[in-house]
Structure 1
Amino acid sequence: MRSRTATCSCGQLRIEVQGEPLGIGVCHCLACQRRTGSVFAALAGFAAPYKVYGTATEYVRVGDQGAKFRFRFCPVCGTNLFHTEEGGDESSVGVAVGGFADPTFPPPQDSVYDCRRHSWVQLPPGTTIYEKNPLY
């Protein structure tokens, strides 16, 4: 089974995941834009088990429909590396695609909150587009 490791900018916080992603997506919601400091968040979901190395600072954000997401940041460099959903499928983890620093990482399959996508952002062909989050 393939293993991948994502790290923060300074290397203090790491997460090791196994297997292929359950899904890969981009989110254009305003909260993700503010959280990442970019115009969207690129995330890959992985099933447990996963291993975390280093120390993380946590922040819980409540989504539009009441779901609670626990984001983990490196307390040294501030990188937001991964998150889990409370009360949802807690056996999976969402990892920031950029943390893998792998230009061959597969492209997103889904794009959520397209209503907030910047007009100049182009999505890969075949990406499924949702105006909001289809899960809620």
Structure 2
Amino acid sequence: MPSRTASCSCGGLRIEVGGEPLGVGICHCLACQRRTGSVFAALASFPAPFKVYGAATEYVRVGDMGARFVFRFCPICGTTVFHTEEGNDDTVSVAVGALADPGFQPPTVSVYDSRRHPWVRLPPGSVTFERDPD
């Protein structure tokens, strides 16, 4: 099974995932915009198991539907590398930019499209949700 490694800017925090992504999406919610410092977050979901190398600082955010998400970022450079949902040990969501692969597949889902900046264009065929579909 092929593996991929995502890393922070300084290399102090890495995650190795295996297989193909279960899905790739972007989130335009205001929390993700603030968290990333960008206008959306691009995430790829991978199946467990995964391996984490280095130290991470954690930040827990409660989503609109009550789910608790644990974001891991590098305590040195501050890059968000991945997050998990409390109670769901089957998957991990990796920041697409941390994979540093310009050939990585594009997102197919866009959530919180109601918060999308009007100049952001989605890939053709993207499925959109005004809010979180869960």
Q: TM-score range by the shorter chain?
A: over 0.9
SS in 1 for 2:89: coil
Deviation (angstroms), 1:99: 0.3
Residue equivalent to 2:113: 114
TM, length-normalised to structure 1: 0.97
RMSD between aligned alpha carbons?
0.5
Report whether the alignment pairs 1:65 with 2:61.
Answer: no
Q: Distance in 2 between matches of 1:103 and 1:120?
A: 21
- Cα offsets for 1:45-101 (capped at 9, x unmatched): 0000100000000000001111100000100000010000012x2221000000011
Residue 63 of structure 1 aligns with an amino acid whose one-letter code is G
Q: Distance in 2 between matches of 1:121 and 1:17?
A: 29
Instruction: Identify unmatched segments of 5+ residues in structure 2.
Output: none
Percent identity over paired residues: 72
Residue equivalent to 1:93: 92
Deviation (angstroms), 1:18: 0.1
Residue 117 of structure 1 aligns with an amino acid whose one-letter code is R
Residue equivalent to 1:128: 127
Deviation (angstroms), 1:33: 0.1
Residue equivalent to 1:54: 54
Deviation (angstroms), 1:40: 0.1
Q: Distance in 2 between matches of 1:133 and 1:75?
A: 29
SS in 1 for 2:107: coil
Residue 64 of structure 2 aligns with an amino acid whose one-letter code is D
SS in 2 for 1:90: strand
Deviation (angstroms), 1:2: 1.0
Number of aligned residue pairs: give it: 134
Residue equivalent to 1:8: 8
Residue equivalent to 1:18: 18
Residue equivalent to 2:35: 35
Deviation (angstroms), 1:23: 0.4
Stretches of 4+ aligned residues off by more than 3 angstroms: none
Residue equivalent to 2:76: 76
